[in-house]
């Protein structure tokens, strides 16, 4: 576990699930009070607490724990974490509230989609009491004092319960999974678009993020990316390229494997990412495959 200072009020904690670095980040903002963006999975709550200790954060000063969405790698640790934070409330999309109150369905679905190996790696989420959750709406402000404020930006597409958080002081956005997976060492962003992905809605969300004219993107997977506008535009083009190839492939009756091959041949960034992932155990190749499946599923269902 290690921490990185990004700005005076902003730090990153590398949660290192199963000792894998640069995979899942949690961000800490500090004004008079403290906020945590992304809990990460249940299995890394102890690492997150060590990170807070390293940053000299007093647990009673944490007032908001904001998750971008309720998938296990982003919000799975919320229940266990809140037990350690006496004054904190969980901020999340309203659609996520019932699932965090009773995470059984979330857990069984994740096991089905991700397989047992991954869910074991993330750990089983504990329920969050309803009175400790805040169902956030678009535009809501989370105020930490000393000019440290975050604005909730609803960014659906990756999931029907996805939010991003805009940081006023750095003009940066905590994007969760709405702007892809950034693999700094491969110099590449790849789509994170597992089924049931909504390309049309995701593109609208990206336009919404672009309209904020941010300088920085803070990726949960993983780290800070500069030239935010360029990155967001590039991600839009990448999603459209994948969808074009999927559409063409479907019309020609090609198999998923064939379409997937073409995508990784024609998208240079994805190709670099795939190569990197095959050589380094940062992500499983399955994640990339699922992204292709999500795009394909969308194109099929909505006749894009
Ligand atoms: Zn994720």
Give 12 Cα–ligand 1 centroid separation in angstroms: 16
Give 146 Cα–ligand 1 centroid separation in angstroms: 30
Give 9 Cα–ligand 1 centroid separation in angstroms: 24
Number of DSSP helices (H) and strands (E) in the chain, helices first: 11, 15
Q: Which of 209, 210, 128 is nearest to 176 (CA)?
A: 209
Give 285 Cα–ligand 1 centroid separation in angstroms: 14
pLDDT of residue 156: 97
Tokens of 93: 């999309």
Give 176 Cα–ligand 1 centroid separation in angstroms: 7
pLDDT of residue 1: 66
pLDDT of residue 133: 98
| 3-class state of residue 4 by DSSP | strand
Give 267 Cα–ligand 1 centroid separation in angstroms: 21
Residue with tokens 């969308």: 298
Tokens of 196: 């049931």
Could you give all domains of the chain from N- to C-terminal order, each with its CATH number?
2-178 (3.60.15.10), 237-302 (no CATH)
Stretches where the chain sits below pLDDT 50 are: none
- Residues 277, 112: Cα–Cα separation, whole Å: 23
DSSP line for 185-231 = GGTEEE----SS--HHHHHHHHHHHHHT--SEEEETTTEEES-HHHH
Give 240 Cα–ligand 1 centroid separation in angstroms: 21
Give 160 Cα–ligand 1 centroid separation in angstroms: 14
Tokens of 239: 């999603």
């Amino acid at each position: 576990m290690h921490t990185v200072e990004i700005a005076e009020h902003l730090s990153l904690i590398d949660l290192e699930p199963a000792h894998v670095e640069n995979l899942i980040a949690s961000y800490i903002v500090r004004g008079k009070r403290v906020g945590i963006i992304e809990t990460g999975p249940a299995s890394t709550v102890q690492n997150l607490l060590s990170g807070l200790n390293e940053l000299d954060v007093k647990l009673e000063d944490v007032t908001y724990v904001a998750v971008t969405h309720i998938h296990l790698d982003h919000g799975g640790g919320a229940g266990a974490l809140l037990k350690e934070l006496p004054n904190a409330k969980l901020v999340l999309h309203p659609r996520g509230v019932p699932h965090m109150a009773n995470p059984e369905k979330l857990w069984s679905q994740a096991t089905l989609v991700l397989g047992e190996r991954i869910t074991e790696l993330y750990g089983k989420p504990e329920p969050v009491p309803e009175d400790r959750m805040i169902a956030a709406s678009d535009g809501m402000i989370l105020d930490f004092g000393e000019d440290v404020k975050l604005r909730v930006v609803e960014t659906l597409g990756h999931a029907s319960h996805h939010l991003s958080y805009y940081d006023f002081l750095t003009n940066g956005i905590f994007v969760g999974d709405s702007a892809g997976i950034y693999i700094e060492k491969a110099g590449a962003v790849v789509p994170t678009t597992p089924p049931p992905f909504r390309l049309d809605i995701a593109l609208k969300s990206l336009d919404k993020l672009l309209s904020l004219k941010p300088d920085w993107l803070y990726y949960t997977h993983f780290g800070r990316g500069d030239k935010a506008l360029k990155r967001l535009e590039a991600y839009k083009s990448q999603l459209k390229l994948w969808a074009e190839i999927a559409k063409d492939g479907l019309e020609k009756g090609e198999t998923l494997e064939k379409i997937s091959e073409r995508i990784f041949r024609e998208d240079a960034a994805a190709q670099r990412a795939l190569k990197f992932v095959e050589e380094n155990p940062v992500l499983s190749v399955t994640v990339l495959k699922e992204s292709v499946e999500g795009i394909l599923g969308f194109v099929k269902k909505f006749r894009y």
